[in-house]
Amino acid sequence: MPPLYGPLLSGFFDRAPIDETRATCDDCAMCDKSGKPSSEGEGLETAFFQPDLKCCTYHPTLPNYLVGAVLSDASPELDGGKRRIRGKIAARIGVTPE
């Protein structure tokens, strides 16, 4: 959780991690098992994850103020994230005025 949200949501997030017992990572429910070609762009009912990527590669939308917070943070732990964000900005991938 970004430190910005800590004071607002600490009661909710200050607890032990949840042990996920129902995950289907080995047999992803969101991967198309029909063998048919992907129908990308026809609606959400036909949107599947690629079997080699699955949901583990989901990249959330980041508000502009969190992007700025990451880029201005001097913590070395964020260097990888900074590189990815700068790369997306340079390639104009997922970057909007919002």
Q: Name the token pair of 18.
A: 């949840």
pLDDT at 75: 92
Q: Has residue 4 been placed in a domain?
A: no
Q: Has residue 97 been placed in a domain?
A: yes
Domain, as residue range, for 47 = 23-57
Q: How many Å apart are CA 83 and CA 89, to the nearest integer? A: 10
pLDDT at 46: 62
Q: Does one domain contain both 95 and 72?
A: yes
**Distinct helix (H) and strand (E) counts, the chain:** 3, 0
**Count of structural domains within the chain:** 2
pLDDT at 82: 94
Residue 43 CB contacts under 8 Å (≥ 6 apart), including other chains: none
Angle at 74 between CA 91 and CA 83, to 5 degrees: 20
| φ and ψ of 31, to 5 deg | -95, 135
Q: Does one domain contain both 64 and 94?
A: yes
Whole-model pTM above 0.85? no
